[in-house]
Amino acid sequence: MAERQAQLILLYGRRRVGKTFLVHQFFNNQFTFQLTGAYDQPRVIQLRHFAFELKQMTGKQQRVPSDWTEAFEMLREALGALPAEMKKIVFLDEMPWLDTQRSGFLPAFEWFWNGWGSSQENLALVACGSATSWMVEHFAENKGGLFNRQSCQIYLKPFSLHETESYLQARGMDWSRDHVAECYMIFGGIPYYLSLLRPELSFHDNIDALLFNRNGELRDEFEHLYRTLFKNSELYIAAVQALSEKRGGITRPEIAKKVGIPLNGNLSRILKDLEYSGFVRQNPFYGQKIKESRYQLCDYYSLFYLRFLKNRNGKDEHFWRNGLDSSSRLAWAGLTFELLCMDHISQIKHRLGISGVLTEESSWFHKGEENGLPGAQIDLVLKRRDRVINLCEIKYSVNEYAIDKETERSLRNKMEVFRLSTRCKETLQLTMITTFGLQRNKYSQMITSQVVLNDLFYDPAEFL
C-alpha cells in the first residue's frame, strides 16, 4: 500500500471463502477505522455499531448519528483530524448488510467518497461483502455515482485442488489425493469449511463429525448460507433444489416451472444473484446460442446437502464411513467428479499440452432419433483454435477404468453422431478423464489422450 493517492478497493466472493481473513492478514489488523455490517439488523442498530467503532478509533465517546450522511460526516472529521502524512485504512466489511431497506447508506457513501475520500492522499478504503450480486451491481457495474471509482477489484475464488492439498498438509492432514479430491467434492475448496477439519480424525470420521453428527458444525449450514445472502431466500433455495435434480443443468423455462414462478425479470434476478455468488453457472452447449445455455448448480456443499443431508433427521451419525461402497455414494461421486473437472480446465489443458491454445469449453447432447441419429452425450467439448476438438469422456472409478466392448461401441457412436449432427470439419480426438487412468486392453487403443486425477493437482502458477 505504497500508493499516496486515494484507493477504493473492492473485495467480494462467496460467503466463507476467506475475504475478511485475507484483509486482516494483508493489513496486519492495523485499521484506522473498521465497521462490520450486522445481518438483518435495522439502521438504528447499524448506526449504534458505527458510533462504538468510531469511539474505538478516537478514544472519545461518540453520539449515535441520526442517519448515514451524518455518520460519514463524523468519519470524515475524525479522519481529517489525523496527520496528513499518516496512512489511513478504512475497512467496511459485509457492506451489503449495512445497506438495509430505506437506510440511505449507499447515497451517503457515494457522497462521502466522491466529495471527500477520493481526493485524500494516504487513504485506502476496503469495501468487502459476501452478497456478491450487491457488490457487483453497486460497485463493479455501477452506472451512477460510483461508476469506475474503484482502483482495485478482487473476486476471491475458492481454493483449487492444489491449494486445498497444500492447506490440509499445512494443518497436519497428509491425506491421499483421492481423499483430498473427495473432500473437495464435498466442501468445494472453501477455506472456512476446510478449517473445521481436525487432524486427529481420519477423513471419513471428519465428514461424519461435521455433517452427519447431530451437533455437526456444518449440518445446518445450508439454510443459514442462503438466508444470509438473499432476501426471499426460499425462492433461491427452490431454484437451487430444482437445479440439483439434473446434472447437466436445466433451462430457464424449466426452472420457472419447477419453482412455480413466472418466466420474468424476477427469475432473471434470482439466477443472476446465484451466478454472481458462485452457486450457479451457465453451462454452454456446443453449437447453441448463449441464450439457450442451461443453468447448472456448481456449489459442492449445496449439492452434497441436497443429496445426503436434507430430511435425514439424524439417521446414522456414521453414514459416510458406513457407506463406502453404497450405490448412492458412487453415483454422487461420478456426477460430482465431472464438476471437479469443469473447475480445473486449466489443468486439463496443461496435461493435454494445449495451455497456449485458445479453446471454447462446452458440453453436448443429441436427442434420440433427431435427424435419424441415435441419442448421444459428451461431458466436455474442448474446441481449439488449431481446428482440433477434444471430446472428453469423464469417468469416476475407484480403480483403473476398463473400457469393454460395449463402452467402445458407445464411444464410437458418440463421435460419429457428434460429427454428423454438428457437421464438424475439425479433427476429433477422444480424451478420457478418469481418477486412476485406463486399464490397457484391446479396447483402450481408441483413446487419443487421457487425464488422471493427479493431473488436476497441478499448480497453475507453475505453467503460466
Instruction: Determine the pLDDT at residue 463.
Output: 55
Instruction: Determine the pLDDT at residue 145.
Output: 67
| Structural contact between residues 160 and 462, judged by C-beta atoms closer than 8 angstroms | no
- Position with higher pLDDT, 83 vs 3: 83
Is 160's pLDDT higher than 90? Answer: yes
Please name the residue that has the C-alpha cell 453422431: 417
Mean pLDDT, rounded, for 11-35? 95
Instruction: Determine the pLDDT at residue 209.
Output: 96
Query: pLDDT category, 464, cuts 50, 70, 90?
Result: low
Residues sharing a CB contact under 8 Å with residue 452, sequence separation 6 or more, in sequence order: 433, 434, 435, 436, 437
d(C-alpha 63, C-alpha 71), whole Å? 10
Instruction: Determine the pLDDT at residue 290.
Output: 61
Q: What is the dihedral of CA 16, 20, 24, 29, to 10 degrees?
A: -120
| Amino acid identity at 214 | R
The continuous run of DSSP H or E covering 454 comes out as none
Is 147's pLDDT higher than 80? Answer: no
Task: Provide Rg for the chain, Cα atoms.
Answer: 25
Which residues of the chain are in CATH 3.40.1350.10 domains? 344-463
Name which of 323, 309, 422 is nearest 365 in CA terms: 422
Low-confidence winner among 97-106, 110-119, 130-139 (lowest mean pLDDT): 130-139
Residues sharing a CB contact under 8 Å with residue 442, sequence separation 6 or more, in sequence order: none
Which residues of the chain are in CATH 3.40.50.300 domains? 7-155
Query: pLDDT category, 396, cuts 50, 70, 90?
Result: very high
Name which of 462, 461, 457 is nearest 177 in CA terms: 457
Q: How far is CA 418 from CA 1, 363, 377, in A?
A: 53, 11, 9
The matching CATH number, chosen from 3.40.50.2300, 1.10.10.10, 3.40.190.90, 3.40.50.150, for 222-307 is: 1.10.10.10
d(C-alpha 292, C-alpha 299), whole Å? 22
Query: pLDDT category, 410, cuts 50, 70, 90?
Result: very high
Is 35's pLDDT higher than 90? Answer: yes
CATH architecture for residues 344-463: 3-Layer(aba) Sandwich (3.40)
β-bridge partners, 452: 434
β-bridge partners, 382: 361, 390
Q: How far is CA 78 from CA 57, 294, 375, in A?
A: 8, 51, 69
Helices (H), 83-220: 95-98, 105-115, 132-135, 161-170, 177-187, 191-195, 203-207
φ, ψ of residue 337 to 5 degrees: the values are -60, -35
Segment 428-450, tens digit of pLDDT: 999 999 999 999 999 999 999 99
Residues sharing a CB contact under 8 Å with residue 413, sequence separation 6 or more, in sequence order: 374, 376
d(C-alpha 200, C-alpha 172), whole Å? 9
Is 142's pLDDT higher than 80? Answer: no
Mean pLDDT, rounded, for 299-303? 96
Mean pLDDT, rounded, for 134-163? 83
- Can you list the positions of beta strands (E) in 37-164? 88-93, 123-129, 152-155
Is 245's pLDDT higher than 60? Answer: yes
Is 294's pLDDT higher than 90? Answer: no
Edge-to-edge strands, sheet with 33-36:
33-36, 88-93, 123-129, 7-12, 152-155
Longest dimension (CA), the chain: 81
| Structural contact between residues 386 and 426, judged by C-beta atoms closer than 8 angstroms | no
Is 2's pLDDT higher than 60? Answer: no
CATH of domain 7-155: 3.40.50.300
Segment 328-362, tens digit of pLDDT: 899 999 999 999 999 999 999 999 999 999 999 99
d(C-alpha 322, C-alpha 283), whole Å? 34
Segment 198-228, tens digit of pLDDT: 999 999 999 999 999 989 999 989 999 999 9
The answer to pTM > 0.85 is yes
Work out the angle at residue 449's Cα, subtended by the Cα atoms of residues 444 and 451, and round it to the nearest 5 degrees: 100
| Structural contact between residues 50 and 35, judged by C-beta atoms closer than 8 angstroms | yes
| Structural contact between residues 107 and 99, judged by C-beta atoms closer than 8 angstroms | no
| Amino acid identity at 439 | Q
Instruction: Determine the pLDDT at residue 422.
Output: 92
